[in-house]
Amino acid sequence: MMQDLINEKPYQKVLVTGAAGFIGSTLVDRLLAQGAEVVGIDNFDPYYSPEQKRTNLKDACQHPSFQLIEGDILDQALISSIFANHEFDVVVHLAAKAGVRPSIEDPAIYFQVNVEGTLNLLTQLRQTPQTRLVMASSSSVYGNNPNAPFAETDETSKPVSPYAASKKAGEVLAHSFFELYGIPMSLLRFFTVYGPRQRPEMAIAKFFHLIQKGQTVPMFGDGTTSRDYTFVEDIVDGIQLSMSRTEGFEIYNLGNSSPASLKHMIDAIGATVGCTPHIQELPEQPGDVTLTCADIRKAELNLGYRPTTSLDQGLSIYHRWLGSHAGGISCAENLS
């Protein structure tokens, strides 16, 4: 039987890797607003616009309790110096090479960043075993899991992309350091996160842009593949709950537990912006899975995690954010 809610442990000083990214910057803003001291590290990888990432941290960089370190988690000397100069209550490790399809083209860099970069952090944490680690993993580790919803105890040894394999390798590596050195850690398997600040190549961001401009939306497959779309603020809730309730070694699913098909998601974006999507059906892409669906009962019981944002609500919030931050185009403007 699962344990009840884990006792809360306070934190004041936090290291966030990947601090300028979509999820990282959202977490940083939340932590600063709540009075925490935050050190963030980011290498501003040009996988997508570094300027977008700098904009993500615009407010944080004006805050007296935030320090930004521009650097790479692959830089062992830098990581060592950060830990030598700071004593952290929690490390939130979000830095990673993301994206299934690019990982097929260049798997080596995915393993270098997602595994070797993680090793650099773990090597420092072994010297400060009181520091808790909260580390981002991915629902992709489940591969084409036939069991829905996906439980943390399900098979994860059959990934279908190098990205998924690199995230699973990171989990296994982290577990070995827990066994050897007792570092308390929570590994969080995120399920298709979306919302303000998301990467521009992510499906929801890309489809908003195309639909509002009246351009053709590429739909890989027949539209029946489904994802457990999870709003970024719900994910940050789960991260924070993990930060204050990490003990031992645990893996948690953080999702919405309410998957939607690709076709439904495209139609929902069309309804949100008031435009009819023009869809082009294309062959399925290698590395894609047919379904993701999170069993979140463990996170509910142990952490108190309860996502509250439906897909329609999240798309509406994202649409409003686009209008105020990205100069969104309306359908009426497109048709005039």
What pLDDT, on a 0 to 100 scale, did the predictor assign at position 332?
Answer: 43
Structure tokens at 320: 């409003």
What pLDDT, on a 0 to 100 scale, did the predictor assign at position 2?
Answer: 41
Query: What CA–CA distance (Å, rounded) separates 111 from 122?
Result: 16
What pLDDT, on a 0 to 100 scale, did the predictor assign at position 129?
Answer: 84
Query: What CA–CA distance (Å, rounded) separates 19 from 6?
Result: 27
User: What is the sign of the dihedral through the CA atoms of 217, 218, 224 and 227?
Assistant: negative
pLDDT tens, N- to C-terminus, the chain (336 residues): 344 678 899 999 999 999 999 999 999 999 999 999 999 999 999 989 999 999 999 999 999 999 999 999 999 999 999 999 999 999 999 999 998 899 999 999 999 999 999 999 999 999 998 999 999 999 999 999 999 999 999 999 999 999 999 999 999 999 999 999 999 999 999 999 999 999 999 999 999 999 999 999 999 989 999 999 999 999 999 999 999 999 999 999 999 999 999 999 999 999 999 999 999 999 988 878 889 999 999 999 999 999 999 999 999 999 999 998 865 455 544 332
pTM of the model: 0.94
Of the candidates 322, 298, 318, 53, the one whose C-alpha atom is nearest the C-alpha of residue 187 is 298
What pLDDT, on a 0 to 100 scale, did the predictor assign at position 7?
Answer: 83
28-65: b or e for each residue (b if 16 or more CB lie within 10 Å)? bbbbbeeebbbbbbbbbbeebeeebbeebbeebeebee
Assigned CATH topology for domain 13-192+232-257+294-308: Rossmann fold (3.40.50)
- Using only C-alpha atoms, the chain has a radius of gyration, in whole angstroms, of 20
Query: 10 Å Cβ neighbour count for 97?
Result: 21
Length of the chain, please? Answer: 336
Known catalytic membership, residue 48: no
What pLDDT, on a 0 to 100 scale, did the predictor assign at position 289?
Answer: 85
Q: Judge contact between 268 and 311, C-beta under 8 A.
A: yes
Structure tokens at 179: 């066994």
Query: What CA–CA distance (Å, rounded) separates 145 from 289?
Result: 9
What pLDDT, on a 0 to 100 scale, did the predictor assign at position 295?
Answer: 98
What pLDDT, on a 0 to 100 scale, did the predictor assign at position 26?
Answer: 98
What pLDDT, on a 0 to 100 scale, did the predictor assign at position 334?
Answer: 39
Catalytic option among 11, 48, 142, 163: 163
Domain residue extents for the chain: 13-192+232-257+294-308
Structure tokens at 333: 């403007």
What pLDDT, on a 0 to 100 scale, did the predictor assign at position 331?
Answer: 59
173-193: b or e for each residue (b if 16 or more CB lie within 10 Å)? ebeebbeeeebbbbbbbbbbb
User: What is the sign of the dihedral through the CA atoms of 34, 97, 52 and 190?
Assistant: negative
286: preceding bond cis by omega (within 30 degrees)? no
